[in-house]
Structure 1
Amino acid sequence: MKEDIEKRAILAAELLIKYNATVRKVAKILGISKSTVRNDLTWRLYKINKRLYKEVRTILDRNKQERHIRGGEATKKKYFAKKEKASLKNSGII
């Protein structure tokens, strides 16, 4: 495996752990795709550093369990903002 790919995988793992982030956030920080981050954090990291992989796996599993909650919150926020905008529009403020 190329050295720069290994460094990227370790950096992605460190970011995920340090900021307790999601794969999406790590991908945005590094400027790479989510699938690349997922591959780096799962099978590449497993080959490079098993201790780090175990920490990352714990966070990835927790994120997967909480995924439906975050999605529900995002939908709630979206429709609340839409309702607020309609309310302001109807009252003549906008």
Structure 2
Amino acid sequence: MTNDLDARRRRIRTAFQAFVSACTVLLVIVPIAMVELEGALPANMYAYLTGAAAAVVAGATLVTRVMALPAVNAFIDRFVPWLSASSSEGSDA
């Protein structure tokens, strides 16, 4: 039960972080850059940028969910130990 709760919290945290990042880039910075380069931003472009932000959030949440699977953790522990969550802090030196 605790592992499920922790995994859910990790997914929620990742989704929130991706949401904030995607909104910052796609809904603030990109329109400002486009206005500066072209002089005007079509109204439908905001819908496209919002869809792209949603896709980024969904992708980040999916990757977080997959990375929490026991098979993926076992693969990381075996083949990519420097990414392992269970490795000790000073073992790579």
On whether the aligned pair clears a TM of 0.5, the verdict is: no
Q: TM-score, normalised by structure 1?
A: 0.34
TM-score by length of 2: 0.35
